A and B are shown apart, each in its own frame.
Chain A
Amino acid sequence: MSLLHWAIFSPFLAALFVPLLFKHFRSIHTGWFVLIVPTLLFTYFFQSIPKTSNGEILSESLAWIPSLKVNIDVYLDGLSLLFALLITGIGSLVILYSIFYLDKTKEKLHSFYVYLLIFMGAMLGLVLSDNLIVLYMFWEFTSFSSFLLIGYWHHRERSRYGAQKSMLITVLGGLSMLGGAVLLAFMGETFSVRELIGKSGELTAHPVFNATILLILLGAFTKSAQFPFHIWLPDAMEAPTPVSAYLHSATMVKAGIYLVARLSPVFAESGLWLWLIAGFGILTLFWGSFSAVKQTDLKAILAYSTISQLGMIMSLLGLGAAALHYENMNENIYMAATVAAVFHLINHATFKGSLFMAAGIIDHETGTRDIRKLGGLMNFMPITFTITLIGALSMAGVPPFNGFLSKEMFFAAMILVTEMDLFNLDTWGVLLPVIAWTGSIFTFIYSLIIAFKPFTGVFRPEMLEKKPHEAPIGMLIPPVILASLVIIFGLFPNLLASSIIEPVVAAIQPGLAKNEFHVHISPWHGFEPELFMTIGVIIFGVLLYLTLDKWNKIYGILPDRFSLNRFYDALIKGVEKVSLSITKLFMTGYIRTYLVYIFLFFILSLGFTLFWKDAFAFDSENTAAIGIYELILATIIAVGAIAILFAKSRLTSIIILGAVGYMVSIFFVLFRAPDLALTQLVIETISVALFLLCFYHLPKLPSRKEERMTFKLNNALISIGVGVIVALIALSSHSNKLFDSISGYYVENAYKEAGGKNIVNVILVDFRGLDTMFEITVLGIAALGIFAMIKLRLTKEDDDG
Chain B
Amino acid sequence: MEVLMAVVIGILFMSATYLMLSKSILRIIIGTGLLSHGAHLLILTMGGLKHGTAVPLLGEQAESYVDPLPQALILTAIVISFGVTSFFLVLAYRTYQELGTDNMDQLRGKEANE
* Residues of chain B whose beta carbon lies under 8 Å from any beta carbon of chain A: 1-23, 26-27, 29-30, 33-34, 37-38, 40-42, 44-51, 53-59, 65-69, 71-72, 74-76, 78-80, 82-87, 89-94, 96-97, 100-105, 107-109, 111
Contacts and interface: CB of A to CB of B under 8 A. Distances in A.
Contacts of B91: 789
Given A637-B8, A690-B86, A759 B56 contact: yes
Nearest to B15: A641
Contact of A661 (B1, B16, B33, B45): B33
Interface in A723-766: 723-724, 726-727, 730-731, 733-734, 741-743, 746-747, 750-751, 757-760, 763-764
A731 B10 CA distance: 10
A716 B47 CA distance: 30
Nearest to A734: B2
Contacts of B72: 760, 763-764, 768, 771
Binding site secondary structure of chain B: helix
Interface of A: 589-592, 595-596, 599, 620, 623-627, 630-631, 634, 637-638, 641-642, 644-645, 650, 653-654, 657, 660-661, 664, 667-668, 671-676, 679-680, 683, 686-687, 690-691, 694-695, 698, 701, 703-704, 709, 712, 715-716, 718-720, 722-724, 726-727, 730-731, 733-734, 741-743, 746-747, 750-751, 757-760, 763-764, 768, 771-772, 775, 778-779, 781-783, 785-786, 789-790
Given A644-B19, A701-B101, A741 B69 contact: yes
A623 B2 contact: yes
Contacts of B97: 698
B66 to A, nearest CB: 5
Contacts of B58: 747, 750-751, 757-759
B2 to A, nearest CB: 4
A723 B10 contact: yes
Binding site secondary structure of chain A: helix
Nearest to B96: A698
Nearest to B106: A703
Given A623-B49, A673-B44, A634 B4 contact: yes
A458 to B, nearest CB: 53
Nearest to B45: A730
Given A634-B4, A672-B54, A709-B27, A657 B93 contact: no
Contacts of A724: 10, 14
Closest 8 CB pairs of A and B: A723-B14, A727-B10, A719-B17, A782-B83, A719-B18, A757-B58, A759-B68, A624-B1
Contacts of B102: 704
Contact of B30 (A657, A758, A763, A790): A657
Contact of B82 (A589, A638, A683): A683
Contacts of A764: 72, 75-76
B105 A642 contact: no
29 contacts: A589-B108, A591-B107, A595-B20, A596-B21, A624-B1, A637-B11, A642-B15, A650-B26, A653-B26, A654-B30, A660-B34, A664-B37, A676-B74, A695-B26, A712-B21, A719-B14, A719-B16, A723-B17, A726-B42, A751-B58, A759-B56, A760-B68, A760-B72, A771-B72, A771-B76, A778-B80, A782-B86, A786-B86, A789-B94
A750 B69 CA distance: 12
Contact of B41 (A664, A733, A741): A664
B79 A683 contact: yes
Contacts, number: 266
B75 A760 contact: yes
Contact of B46 (A654, A695, A733, A758): A733
Contacts of B11: 637-638, 641-642, 723
Contacts of B83: 778-779, 781-783
Given A645-B15, A660-B34, A760-B56, A782 B84 contact: yes
B21 A595 contact: yes
Contact of B34 (A641, A741, A772, A778): A641
Contacts of A790: 90, 94
Contacts of A599: 17, 21
A683 B80 CA distance: 11
A592 B15 contact: no
Contact of A644 (B5, B21, B34): B34
B5 A634 contact: yes
B18 A672 contact: no
Nearest to B14: A723
Contact of A680 (B54, B78, B89, B103): B78
A738 to B, nearest CB: 13
Nearest to B95: A789
A28 to B, nearest CB: 49
Residue from the set B15, B48, B94, B102 with the largest chain A CB neighbour count within 10 Å: B15
